[in-house]
Structure 1
Amino acid sequence: MQVTETLSEGLKRGFTVVVPGAEMEGRRQARLTELGRSMNLPGFRPGKVPLSLVRQRYGTAVTGEILEQTVNDATRDLLAERGLRSATQPKVDLVRGDTAATAGKQAADDLEFTVELELLPEITPPDLAGLSLTRLKAEPDAETVERALADIAKRNRRFETIEEQRGAAPGEALTVDFVGRVDGVAFEGGTASDVDVEIGGSGFIPGFAEQLEGLQPGQERTINVTFPEEYQAAELAGKQAAFDVTAKALKRPIDCAIDDDLAKTIGFEGLEQVREVISQQVRQEYDQLSRMRIKRELLDILAEKADFPAPQGMVETEFGSIWQRVEADRKEGRIDDEDKEKDEAALRADYRRIAERRVRLGLLLAEIGRVANVSVTQEELGRAMRAEAGRYPGQEQMVIDFFRKNPQAAETLRGPIFENKVVDYIIDQASVEERTVTPEELAEIPPAAA
């Protein structure tokens, strides 16, 4: 094939590629001959159908197939021969195609097409051993453990019925029946009977339990609430609903002693075992916060070192994804106070900088991972699939089957695993100082990087 470079500007490259018509004809003849060996027509023995008849029946389809295959092969060879790594899918446009099969010509036209692409930039990974990081550590204290025990005791309280006829007060509980409606229509999961609702307690839709205060057994009340925007049932998220509530009984809580009997109630041998389990759980939460903090510090450092040009095609794709979420948030009134003061041009500029930072960081992490031979195993991908399926109780197998049938969807799980493995690799190579802080200091949100 003949290749002519037509563009070399920054990371952008352009080429015109010409494949001789003779090569195209050779490919087509080979494919038609292959089809003829398995073609059956009345009056001809299998494999003995004349090539002219094969061409008559399959010529147009084979021409299209060979055209696509040749363009793909030539583009791949062009990149390989010149050592080019494309940042995104190359843009290919046909200039002159092979029309011999459809035009009845004896010789095929040369195939001519153009290729435009953006290259991945040259990336030199930093000296990982020279990176200095701080890992913040915190230990569960007695107060934290005791608060958790108090919460367990509260959840395991028993309630006794109040015979006095009066309205419910905060801290007490009402046994109620209710029917919920959106736009006047009862919705799935919005009807229940004999439910104990603590007045002012959590666990229900915000505003539901608060509006039960003062309601007496035997009375009815209609309560209006709005489902949170993040509500797990997407069809109800952000919607207003009315609940018709009937109170049936008033109850008061009986405090539960924090002792070995409580521990046995929840399946443990004794109170000290519960304390140890709580400490382990809190320590895991602190470890997760610690990792989040050191990962953020690392990414901020790497962002400063990622001084190579970012492929604009990748930036545009990332920006488009970010801006779509920004517009959705603005529509729902969830925009940050800081962003409210900015006009659209300023907002776009800010989020484009974020998109560019993400692209550079992603490319740098990918290059570090490539050099270090970091990869994602099928076992790791399988665990991620099962974890994702676990978010949909009762539909786990359906989610697993979806990933197995849609490899591209499964690939969306590979990226975060790869990134975390590369981050772990870098942290292992870097110089890390450990510093003990309070749980409050560990939980502080550090200022955003510029």
Structure 2
Amino acid sequence: MQVSETLNEGLKRGYQITVPAGDIDAKVNAKLVEAQPEVELKGFRKGKVPMAMLKKQFGRQIMGEVIQESIDGAVQEHFQESGDRPAMQPKIEMINQENWSDGDDIVVALTYEALPDVPDVDFGGVKIEKLTVEPAEADVDEALEGLSKNAQTFEPKEDGVAENGDQVVIDFVGKVDGEAFEGGAAEDYPLVLGSKSFIPGFEEQLVGTKEGEEKAVEVNFPEEYQAAHLAGKTAVFDCTVKEVKKPAEAKIDDEMAKSFGVESLEALKTQIKERLSAEYAGAARQVVKRQLLDQLDSLVTFDLPPALVEAEANQIAHQLWHEENPDVQGHDHPTIEPTEEHRNLAARRVRLGLLLAELGQKEGVEVTDAEMTQAIMTQARQYPGQEREFFEFIQKNAQAQQQLRAPLFEDKVIDLVLDRAEVTEKPVSKAELQAEVEKLEEA
């Protein structure tokens, strides 16, 4: 194999690789010899077919296999000898393919962008301020108030006149053009007025009704209604108000705690404190991580593969565009060109990603099978009833596995750096922590 350099600009590399015809012919003959004992052709016993006939019968097919194997092997050998690591999929082209014939050398053009050498970093100069928050009694009380609303009960209303916030128990039958439609009827349905759980305009028309009253409620289904046969249609619901109830006074006590599966109010408070502590710690972790990445970004400078930065910029631009246009699904939209701001952000992400990857590799950081399993289980909870299908999807999809593994790997490297950095703790209030988190979201 002969290799000659054709391009060396920054991280861009280009090579012309020549695989001698003799090497190719030797590999073809070796494959034919290997296959000969199992080949049986008309007029010849198994294993006795002459080599010349084998070559005539199967040579073209085997030649194609050998050419591909030779190109792959030559490229792999080049990377092993050069030590280069391509930033993205290299471009490989057989430049004499059109006029190549048996007996010719194979000439391949190989171009790629190499990953840069990442300099060592002295993490001793990294100084991190870790925010700590202890859940206050007011925070626990606020959470209890929220739970009490979720556990809201209702009691009979003396005057029987329904208002917003009251619960009406109704029977109803919905009709379009005088015909009842499927799914448009119910009995003893408890509806809280003002909850906006029904079609717009429905609940408002029940305000002022009384127990025993019948009311024809006319509404228009939205144009984008999920049931296509009802979208944009006018419907009339014949409603009978069977009961009118008012919200009962919320009591934060042992009985309420038991409704949430906890034995006492004190035990519920303990659970809330633990949950709040975990939430605050998670938020503080994001602030610490941002501090660390900002400092690392200022500590290192090295060349970045242009194609890798551009690919990241395109991804950022595409993601932000979809966040601004949530109604557009898939890729049915105009071409989205990244801005200079997108490219600057992309350069930061690529630089930090390469730095953390290099550090993790040098330190032997690995994501264990147990950690991956836990991550998969956590993700699977977002698909209740489809957990098994999610597991099977992850097992068969290498890209999906990498998307789960990457943040786990990054967090382990972050912890490694934090162990070597100077970290001081700073107690703050919940409001101060929230203010720092909001800064991250605005950045």
Q: 1:299 to 1:175 in 2, by over 3 A?
A: farther
Q: Hey, what's the Cα distance between the residues in 1 that align with 2:358 and 2:248? A: 61
Equivalent position of 2:24 in the other structure = 24
Q: 2:218, 2:234 within 8 Å by CA — same for their partners in 1?
A: no
Deviations 1:49-100 (A, max 9, x none): 3333333333222222111111111111111112212111111111124988
CA deviation after TM superposition for structure 1 residue 2, in Å: 0.6
Match of 2:297 among 303, 311, 318: 303
CA deviation after TM superposition for structure 1 residue 16, in Å: 0.4
Q: Hey, what's the Cα distance between the residues in 1 that align with 2:322 and 2:108? A: 40
Q: 2:133, 2:427 within 8 Å by CA — same for their partners in 1?
A: yes
Please, which moves more after superposition, 358-367 or 37-46? 37-46
Please, which moves more after superposition, 262-271 or 42-51? 42-51
Secondary structure of the equivalent of 1:96?
A: coil
CA deviation after TM superposition for structure 1 residue 432, in Å: 0.6
CA deviation after TM superposition for structure 1 residue 350, in Å: 1.1
CA deviation after TM superposition for structure 1 residue 448, in Å: 7.1
Equivalent position of 1:260 in the other structure = 254
Match of 1:132 among 127, 130, 134: 127
Percent identity reads 33
Secondary structure of the equivalent of 2:4?
A: strand
Q: Hey, what's the Cα distance between the residues in 2 that align with 1:82 and 1:322? A: 33
> Gaps (5+ residues) in structure 2?
329-335
Secondary structure of the equivalent of 2:78?
A: helix
Secondary structure of the equivalent of 1:135?
A: strand
Q: 1:385, 1:413 within 8 Å by CA — same for their partners in 2?
A: yes
**Where do residues 395-414 of structure 1 align in structure 2 (5 Å cutoff)?**
395-414=386-405
Match of 1:418 among 391, 401, 409: 409
Q: 2:174, 2:238 within 8 Å by CA — same for their partners in 1?
A: no
Q: 1:188 to 1:138 in 2, by over 3 A?
A: farther
**Where do residues 89-104 of structure 1 align in structure 2 (5 Å cutoff)?**
89-97=89-97
Question: Which letter does structure 2 place at the counterpart of 1:446?
Answer: K
Question: Which letter does structure 1 place at the counterpart of 2:427?
Answer: T
Q: 2:154, 2:245 within 8 Å by CA — same for their partners in 1?
A: yes
Equivalent position of 1:60 in the other structure = 60
Q: 1:179 to 1:199 in 2, by over 3 A?
A: same
Equivalent position of 1:218 in the other structure = 214
Tell me if 1:390 matches 2:381.
yes
Equivalent position of 1:142 in the other structure = 137
Equivalent position of 2:423 in the other structure = 432
Q: 1:225 to 1:277 in 2, by over 3 A?
A: farther
Question: Which letter does structure 1 place at the counterpart of 2:290?
Answer: R
Q: 1:135, 1:290 within 8 Å by CA — same for their partners in 2?
A: yes
Q: Hey, what's the Cα distance between the residues in 2 that align with 1:423 and 1:189? A: 53
Q: 1:288 to 1:244 in 2, by over 3 A?
A: farther
Cα RMSD, aligned residues only = 3.5
Deviations 1:382-404 (A, max 9, x none): 22222222211111111111122
Number of residues paired by the alignment? 422
Equivalent position of 1:339 in the other structure = none
Q: 1:172 to 1:241 in 2, by over 3 A?
A: farther
> Gaps (5+ residues) in structure 1?
335-343
Q: Hey, what's the Cα distance between the residues in 2 that align with 1:259 and 1:156? A: 12
Question: Which letter does structure 2 place at the counterpart of 1:214?
Answer: V
Equivalent position of 2:115 in the other structure = 120
Equivalent position of 1:340 in the other structure = none
**Where do residues 167-178 of structure 1 align in structure 2 (5 Å cutoff)?**
168-175=162-169
Equivalent position of 1:156 in the other structure = 151
Q: 2:36, 2:47 within 8 Å by CA — same for their partners in 1?
A: yes
TM-score, with normalisation over the residues of structure 2? 0.84
Tell me if 1:446 matches 2:439.
yes
Q: 2:200, 2:219 within 8 Å by CA — same for their partners in 1?
A: no
Q: Hey, what's the Cα distance between the residues in 2 that align with 1:2 and 1:362? A: 35
Q: Hey, what's the Cα distance between the residues in 1 that align with 2:149 and 2:346? A: 46
CA deviation after TM superposition for structure 1 residue 294, in Å: 0.5
Deviations 1:100-137 (A, max 9, x none): 8xx5x5xx210101111111112113212221001101
Equivalent position of 1:354 in the other structure = 345
CA deviation after TM superposition for structure 1 residue 364, in Å: 1.0
Secondary structure of the equivalent of 1:446?
A: helix
Equivalent position of 2:322 in the other structure = 328
Secondary structure of the equivalent of 1:419?
A: helix
Question: Which letter does structure 2 place at the counterpart of 1:20?
Answer: P
Q: Hey, what's the Cα distance between the residues in 1 that align with 2:70 and 2:184? A: 59
Q: 1:137, 1:290 within 8 Å by CA — same for their partners in 2?
A: yes
Secondary structure of the equivalent of 2:95?
A: strand
Q: Hey, what's the Cα distance between the residues in 2 that align with 1:366 and 1:119? A: 15
Q: Hey, what's the Cα distance between the residues in 1 that align with 2:377 and 2:233? A: 34
Q: 1:226 to 1:397 in 2, by over 3 A?
A: farther
Q: 1:263, 1:274 within 8 Å by CA — same for their partners in 2?
A: yes
Q: Hey, what's the Cα distance between the residues in 2 that align with 1:420 and 1:240? A: 50
CA deviation after TM superposition for structure 1 residue 269, in Å: 2.1
Equivalent position of 1:87 in the other structure = 87
Please, which moves more after superposition, 65-74 or 325-334? 325-334
Equivalent position of 2:74 in the other structure = 74
**Where do residues 340-379 of structure 1 align in structure 2 (5 Å cutoff)?**
348-379=339-370
CA deviation after TM superposition for structure 1 residue 449, in Å: 9.2
CA deviation after TM superposition for structure 1 residue 11, in Å: 0.6
Please, which moves more after superposition, 302-311 or 274-283? 302-311
Q: 2:173, 2:238 within 8 Å by CA — same for their partners in 1?
A: no
Q: 1:34 to 1:191 in 2, by over 3 A?
A: farther
Secondary structure of the equivalent of 1:86?
A: coil
Q: Hey, what's the Cα distance between the residues in 2 that align with 1:309 and 1:412? A: 25
Equivalent position of 1:277 in the other structure = 271
